[in-house]
Structure formats: structure tokens, C-alpha cells
A and B are shown apart, each in its own frame.
Chain A
Amino acid sequence: MKNVRRVEAVFEVLRIVVAFLVAYGLTLLVLVIISEDPAQAIYSFTVGPFTTPRRIGGIIQKAVPLVFTGLGMCFMYSVNRFNLSGEGIFIMSACITTYFALSMQGLGLPKWLYILVLLAIGALVGFVLASIPAIINVKLGANIIVLSIMLNYILLYFTQFVLTRVVRDVGVSYTASYEIPVTARFGELIPRTGIHTGVFVALLFCVVVTVLFKKTSLGFEMRTVGSNPDFAVQIGINAVTTIVLAQALGGALAGVGGSLEQLAMNSRFQWTELTNHGMNGVVVAVLAKKRPQYVILTALLMAYIRQGAQVVSSSTDIPAEFIVLVQGVIILMVAAETFLSKTRNKIIYESALRSTENSNAA
């Protein structure tokens, strides 16, 4: 039986690795087909991200928000709810953070407290917003995917209202908020790389969430409810509370991510459409096998691909959007549970047969 567990575990990882490699290979193939200069395009895509310090920094910079949305999706997955509100929460919390950053200017808070308060506001925004579809879902049985995607659009248009009517700086020629004071912003960690001090916050959250999943009662409750809600109820776990709380915490993670991205990367709030960070978080979490301890690795991986796409679009004739292909194929292949299952079953069958023969011989 130990054998079986090993085969199952190996195939679980193998499935994800193969899915990723197939997706990556397909992307390269597409590059070759559509590019005027395939060699240059492939070089830019694969090696390009490592060619200058700023590009390497770009990988890390891009990984930071993915860590947050990826961790957030781990919470959603832990209770088996495909709550996609992280997408809307990301932009919403960036917007609300901007509003409060501007309105708290006069208080003269020290930098660390200023930022801490703003991140907490982002977390609160995410916590409250993610629980809206979560509660409607458990209480009324409405589909969580529909609810959360609708919520995303409501949130998007709400931020546009705030942007154009509340925080807009009429002094600039484009649509943007007033500038957020420097005291509320993360500074550059390594000069000329774009790597900001926010990476420490991301690392901290990776550790905290991993510990929460593995070592706390809430982690146990989420695992049990996610794995068998009827069992959880029968054994005395409040399934409804756990399901809602887990999603609210997932939302809080996305909220912190949105806040931090705003305070680290942009001096003004100027997003006018959804940023796709939430959806990329789904891919990050899926690649990490829905476990927070691997999120940092998969976030870096996705960031590397995005950075590659950016290099491709700046140095060749191909737009960065082509990498959506990678995400699509990965999700498709990982979601297909039976992918590789025939091979797996064959190996399990053979090893089981061998062990019975051994026991017969003995």
C-alpha cells in the first residue's frame, strides 16, 4: 500500500509538471509560428528575463502580487469553493487604499504605521467583500463562480466611480488619482532593479499562511470541511462558519496584495480595467497543488513567464497577450483529473500484482 501512495504522489506532481511543460512547449510553438524572427522571439521569451538586473528585478516585482492572490486562492480551494472575487478585490483594495492614503496625509503618521494601517484597510476590504458571495452561496445555494465574477464587475465600476468622481487629479491630462505621498509608499530595496521592500511582506505572508494551514485549528477545520463537509458537521465542526471564514481570509489576502501593489508600484491609482492578478492567482494556486508552501515558487514561475512575454513584446513584433495561452492550457490540463490516470492505474496494478506474488512466494 505504501507503494500506491508513492505512485499517487509522484503522479500528482508529474501531472502538474507535464501540464506546465506542455503549455510552455505549446507557447514556444506558437511563438515560432507567428513570429517574423522565431529565434529572437524564443531567445527573448526564455532567456530574456535574465539578461539585465532590471529584468530580473521585474520577475520578483511581478511575483509579489501573484503571491498574495495565489495564497488567497489556496484559502478558497481549501474549502472547495471556487470564489474568484480576488480579481475584483485586488483593484478595489488598491482604490480604497489610495483614497485613505490621500485622506490620511495630514495626520503625520510615521512611515511604518502609515503603511501598516493602509495594508490593514486593504485586508479589511478583501475580508468583507469576499464574504459577500461566500455567505450568499452557503445561505441561498447560489453558484459561487457566478456570484464572484459578477461581484468583480460591480467592484470594477465602483473603483471607476471613485477614480473619476472622488480621487481624480484634474491637474494631470490622463485619468489618475492624486499622487500618494511618499511616506505611504514602499521604497526600492535594491537600486535600479525595481525590487521594493514589499517583498518582505510577501515572504512574511507565505510563512504565516503556511503555518495557519498546517499548524492551527482553523487549518484543520478548513481541511476537514473541504474534504468532507458532512463529516465535519457530524463531528462538531461549524462548517458554515469555516467555509465563509476561509473565503473571507482568502479575500483579505487578495486585499493586502492590491494595497501593497498600489503602494509599491504606482504613485497614483489609474487602473481602468481588471488587472488579471486574481485570475493569475488561480493558476499560481493550482500549480502549487493548492498548498501555500509552494505558492512562492509557482508565483515566481508565472512571473518569469510574464516577464518573458514583456521582453518579447518590447523586442519583437508579438504582443504580450500571447501568454494567456500558457495559463489556459495549464488550467485545462491540471483540471482534467483523468489526465495520465491510465498510466498511473497501470503502474499501480503492476506493483500490486508484484507484491501479491511476493507474498504468495513467501
Chain B
Amino acid sequence: MSELLRVENLTKVYSNGFVANSDISFSVNAGEIHALVGENGAGKTTLMKMLFGMEDYQKGAIYLNDKKLEMKSALDAIHNGIGMIHQHFMLVPSLSIAENIVLGIEPTKAVMFNYKEAVRMTSEAAKKYGFDLDVTQRVSDISVGSMQKVEILKALIRGVKVLIMDEPTAVLTPQETRELFEQLHRLQEQGYAIIFISHKLEEIMELCDRVTVLRKGKCLGTYDISDMTQERISNLMIGRDVELRFQKDDPESGEDLLLVSDLIVVGDDGKRNIDGVSFRVRAGEVVGIAGVEGSGQTELAAAITGTEPYHSGSITLSGEEIRGHTVRQLREMGMASIHEDRMTIGASVNQSIRDNIIADRFYRPEFRKFIFTDKKAIDEFVDRCIEEFEIACDDADQPVRMLSGGNIQKVVVAREFTSGCRFILASQPTRGIDVGTTEMIRKRLVSMSHENKVATLLISADLNELLEVSDRLLVLRRGKIVAAFPKASEVSEDKLGEYMLGIRTMTPQEMEGLL
């Protein structure tokens, strides 16, 4: 196989002084699916952005077919034959698939947009690459899996030879993932090079030919998959052994702490984002919520934490209705929450670690002296947190934005886990962070529930995490609960996927007593 893309000594330093990549070199062959792995903060995203012309670099070069590339923007990258499928799709929901694909390269008749030609072009391309799509459908009506196909087609029709895919399976169900893999293999046979970025090692073992491992901004080397095992890859990524699965006992659940009944949340567009949901979370147990992204998880979390209103039904915490309480009152009543969006809402990245950790309790008597804040008490507390949660930083004054993703999440959990909560809502608590921190957070969630009798509601897109951490499991689809499992450990990923996708639905009778 011939070499298609080569990267030599690429070095990138961000303006905050963070060395994201140093001296990265690797190459990708035509007709190869090449995995790029590393913990978050290892520099994968930065490397991708440089390959796709979105970031500049201080040193090194990128070669395509032995030609040195000078890219100033993503447009340059596409012209050169490098395409990228982002984790979050860049599509216009109100337009049809065909229109989305030709956006920017529209076929014209005289000066008018030639819709017929667009449909012909795109359906032909879809057929050529074996994508099963009705190109006249509107993007707002199609599934996430189909949207991804549209994104891939968008790149292919522009003549891309190298396809970078950023965690493409994160949003897919197991069934959709399988379909994607088949399509990728077909592209591989046609001579395309695919750079596949993923956290899921089993997928890499199944799909890829070679793997390049990044750790702390450095390239550890490229290996043939046939010589590797999952354990060896994760060893290389982390530099130590990690317990990927852990044992836990059955919970001894106590009284109902969170009770949601007939909850309806209507969005700004009049859509029922949460449509008649009822369930409970008892002290001492972890209840997991699975579901394809956008099934109402965000709205449910916002309603429970009291940051957005709900329209009918009720949510009670220890018997008290959420509505009518301020967020501070709810937190005083024992609520803690890890927000899914840690960079914009979960943490205040321009403030110091200290400010972030005491943000929910600065007003409490133990941190005050007369009417003033007690700096000494605060410093002692924050330093203890930094030590206990092993936050890698210079000192408590360091702005959070200078930390890595995993350490930012440690700051968040240091605050939420030490608040003395009785109920904790954990939304995507380990999304995009390193394996070490993931392990710590998962263990703490379980031990807080099982030992300290905290009621935990876990919302996650990571099925592994749900199956491992949860005691009970619910599936949310289009704002409704469509399945409930009393024992998460006895559920398979495939079965979960079927309920998430809507292939199967439980009847209310089946779920009775399990909510």
C-alpha cells in the first residue's frame, strides 16, 4: 500500500502556553483505516485540527502524496483532499439531504439552483458508496446515523481522499455502529484513507489496520493492530494498568429521595422534550438513564436541578417540590449536580480553582468571619480538595482554563462530591476525559451511593459506564421512558441499543414497579 498522508515533527503550543503536540510524526496509507488513540488531553483533537487546517502549528510539516501542504483554513484542507467528520454534525436541519450535501458547490441552471441535478448527483454518489439514503428527505426528519452518512457523503463528493472521523461512534447505537463499519470497509477497498479517532478500544481492534498512540502531546509510535491487544493499547495510552471493570455489590436502597411523576417539559418550539416521565431514585442506589443524545436528557437534568421550569407534573426532593425553590435552596436541601457541559456551565474557566470549588458554599458560616470571607478557612478547604482529588495544578489561584479536561472535571467533582449531598445528578460525568479520572469518578459515584446512602441519577451516553455504574437502568427516547431494567448488570449493550433506537418498547405493564 502506498503512503498517502505523512506528518513530520508537528508541534503546537497554544497561547496559554499549553504544549498540545510536540514532535508528532506518523503516516497513513491509502486503503487503510488508521486509529488515533490517546487519553483526552493527549492532543488528538489538536492534531486533527491541524490536519484539517483549523489550527496553525509552530514546527513541522504535513505532506499529502509527498507534497507539502500549506493550509490556512478547513476549506484549504478540503481542496487538498482532507475531510473531517465532526462529532457534532454541521448540517442545516431545514434543508433536504441533497441540499445539505451540495451546499457550497451547488449545481446551477442559468443562475438558479438546480435542485433536480443536486438530487441526481447526490443519489448517484450515495449509490456509488453504498449509502442507503433518500436524498429528498429533510435532515430534521432523519436519524443520527443517517446524518453521519450525509456528513461522509458531503466530504466524499468534494473529492476528499483522507477522511478524519472524530469519535464517530459516540452518538451511534450498536446497530448503527455496525452499519458504519461496513461502509468504512467499503471506502477502504476503494482506496480511501480513514483516520479513526475513538476511545473505544474494542471498536479499534475490530475495525482498524494500524494504531498511532498519543500520550501527553507526544507520539509513542504506530503499531499494527494484529500485534496489539486492548490491554496493551490502554497501557500505552495511560502508562499504567487500569482496572477497566470493577466489582460492586447490590445496593441496599432506602427511602425515595427523588420522585418524578408525570413530568412534562415543553421547549421553546412547543415540542414536548419530556413527555410524561415518572420514576424515582432511592437513597443508596444509582439509577442510570440511557438514550440516544437529544432524547430529553438535557431538559430532564435542567428541570431536576431547578435551572429551567417544567410545565406539568412534579419533581420532589425529599418530599419537597422543586418548583418554587431557588437553586441555592435546592443545594441546601442536599442536591448536587455535575453538569454535562463542563467548559461553559459546569465550571467557570476564567476563575481560579479556589473560586470554582467554593462557588456553591462561599456564603456558609464556616467560610466567613463576621461579614467577610475567611480566606484562611477557604484556602485550607480548597487545598484539601486539591490533594484529595489529585488535581494537577500549580496552586489554587490558577485559572481553571489552564488545566486539562480531566483536571477541570476533577475541580467540578471536588466541589460536588464534597457538598454533603443526599442526591446527586451526574450528567455525562466522564465524557471526554482521561481513563484515570474516569475510573476515580465512577468509583466515587458508586461508593457514595452504596456506602453513604446518596441517591444517584446517572445520565450518560457511554453505555459501558451505564452498565457498570448503575444499579437500575431506564431508557429515555423522545422524552418518554421506554424501558426499565431492575438490574443493570444483566442487560446487554445490544438489548439496550434496541430500546434506544426504538426497535423495541416496553409496555407500561412491563415496566410497572420498575420505575
Query: In the complex the two chains form, is B371's CB within 8 Å of A216's CB?
Result: yes
Majority DSSP secondary structure for residues of A touching B: helix
Query: In the complex the two chains form, is B360's CB within 8 Å of A217's CB?
Result: no
CB distance from B208 to the nearest CB of A (A): 29
Q: Report if A54 contacts B (CB, 8 A).
A: no
CB distance from A46 to the nearest CB of B (A): 37
Query: In the complex the two chains form, is A217's CB within 8 Å of B373's CB?
Result: yes
Query: In the complex the two chains form, is A234's CB within 8 Å of B17's CB?
Result: no
Q: Type the 1/0 row for B260-274, where 1 means its CB is closer than 8 Å to any CB of A.
A: 000000000000000
A-B interface pairs (CB < 8 A), number: 101
Question: Across the interface, which residues of A come within 8 angstroms of B199, CB to CB?
Answer: none
The answer, among A4, A220, A223, A238, for a CB contact under 8 Å with B402, is A4
Query: In the complex the two chains form, is A237's CB within 8 Å of B328's CB?
Result: yes
Query: In the complex the two chains form, is A1's CB within 8 Å of B372's CB?
Result: no
Say yes or no: A223-B351 contact (C-beta < 8 A), given A351-B17, A352-B19.
Answer: yes
Q: Looking across the interface, which residue of chain A has its beta carbon closest to that of B395?
A: A2
Q: Report if A231 contacts B (CB, 8 A).
A: yes
Q: Report if B394 contacts A (CB, 8 A).
A: yes
Q: Type the 1/0 row for A212-240, where 1 means its CB is closer than 8 Å to any CB of B.
A: 00011100100110011011111111100
Say yes or no: A5-B372 contact (C-beta < 8 A), given A231-B348, A236-B360.
Answer: no
Q: Report if B113 contacts A (CB, 8 A).
A: no
Q: Which of A2, A236, A352 has the most CB of B within 10 A?
A: A236
The bracket for how many chain B residues form the interface is 35 or more
> A8 vs B13: C-alpha distance in the bound complex, in angstroms?
15
Query: In the complex the two chains form, is A353's CB within 8 Å of B339's CB?
Result: no
The answer, among B305, B368, B398, for a CB contact under 8 Å with A234, is B305
Query: In the complex the two chains form, is A216's CB within 8 Å of B372's CB?
Result: yes
Q: Type the 1/0 row for A318-362, where 1 means its CB is closer than 8 Å to any CB of B.
A: 000000000000000000000001001100110111001000000
Question: Across the interface, which residues of A come within 8 angstroms of B393, CB to CB?
Answer: 1
> A3 vs B394: C-alpha distance in the bound complex, in angstroms?
10
Q: Report if B235 contacts A (CB, 8 A).
A: no
Query: In the complex the two chains form, is B344's CB within 8 Å of A215's CB?
Result: no
Q: Report if A7 contacts B (CB, 8 A).
A: yes
Question: Across the interface, which residues of B come within 8 angstroms of A13, CB to CB?
Answer: none
Question: Across the interface, which residues of B come within 8 angstroms of A349, CB to CB?
Answer: 13, 17, 58
Query: In the complex the two chains form, is B347's CB within 8 Å of A1's CB?
Result: no
The answer, among B17, B326, B347, B373, for a CB contact under 8 Å with A4, is B17
Q: Report if A39 contacts B (CB, 8 A).
A: no
Q: Report if B350 contacts A (CB, 8 A).
A: yes
Q: Report if A142 contacts B (CB, 8 A).
A: no
Q: Which of B19, B307, B328, B348 has the most CB of A within 10 A?
A: B348
Query: In the complex the two chains form, is B351's CB within 8 Å of A227's CB?
Result: yes
Query: In the complex the two chains form, is B13's CB within 8 Å of A238's CB?
Result: no
Query: In the complex the two chains form, is B18's CB within 8 Å of A231's CB?
Result: no
Question: Across the interface, which residues of A come within 8 angstroms of B276, CB to CB?
Answer: none
CB distance from A192 to the nearest CB of B (A): 41
CB-contacts of B357-395 with A (<8 A): 359-360, 362-363, 368, 371-373, 375, 393-394
> A230 vs B359: C-alpha distance in the bound complex, in angstroms?
13
Q: Looking across the interface, which residue of chain A has its beta carbon closest to that of B20?
A: A352
Say yes or no: A1-B402 contact (C-beta < 8 A), given A227-B348, A234-B337.
Answer: yes
Question: Across the interface, which residues of A come within 8 angstroms of B22, CB to CB?
Answer: 356
> A352 vs B347: C-alpha distance in the bound complex, in angstroms?
25
Q: Report if B345 contacts A (CB, 8 A).
A: yes
Say yes or no: A5-B394 contact (C-beta < 8 A), given A217-B362, A231-B359.
Answer: yes
The answer, among B16, B360, B373, for a CB contact under 8 Å with A216, is B373
Question: Across the interface, which residues of A come within 8 angstroms of B347, CB to CB?
Answer: 231
Q: Report if B486 contacts A (CB, 8 A).
A: no
Question: Across the interface, which residues of A come within 8 angstroms of B346, CB to CB?
Answer: 231, 234
Query: In the complex the two chains form, is B17's CB within 8 Å of A230's CB?
Result: no
Q: Which of A224, A228, A234, A352 has the most CB of B within 10 A?
A: A234
> A237 vs B307: C-alpha distance in the bound complex, in angstroms?
11
Question: Across the interface, which residues of B come within 8 angstroms of A26, CB to CB?
Answer: none
Question: Across the interface, which residues of B come within 8 angstroms of A7, CB to CB?
Answer: 17
Q: Report if B330 contacts A (CB, 8 A).
A: yes
Q: Looking across the interface, which residue of chain B has its beta carbon closest to that of A236?
A: B328
Q: Type the 1/0 row for B95-128, where 1 means its CB is closer than 8 Å to any CB of A.
A: 0000000000000000000000000000000000
Q: Report if B2 contacts A (CB, 8 A).
A: no
A-B contact pairs, 22 of them (CB 8 A): A1-B18, A4-B402, A5-B398, A7-B17, A216-B372, A217-B362, A217-B368, A223-B351, A223-B355, A224-B351, A224-B359, A228-B345, A234-B327, A235-B360, A236-B360, A237-B328, A238-B326, A341-B15, A345-B15, A348-B17, A349-B58, A353-B19
> In the complex, given contacts A1-B393, A215-B375, what are 11 additional A-B residue pairs having Cβ atoms less than 8 angstroms apart?
A5-B394, A8-B16, A217-B363, A220-B373, A231-B345, A232-B359, A235-B331, A237-B359, A349-B58, A352-B13, A353-B13
> What residues make up the interface of A, taking CB atoms closer than 8 Å to B?
1-5, 7-8, 211, 215-217, 220, 223-224, 227-228, 230-238, 341, 344-345, 348-349, 351-353, 356
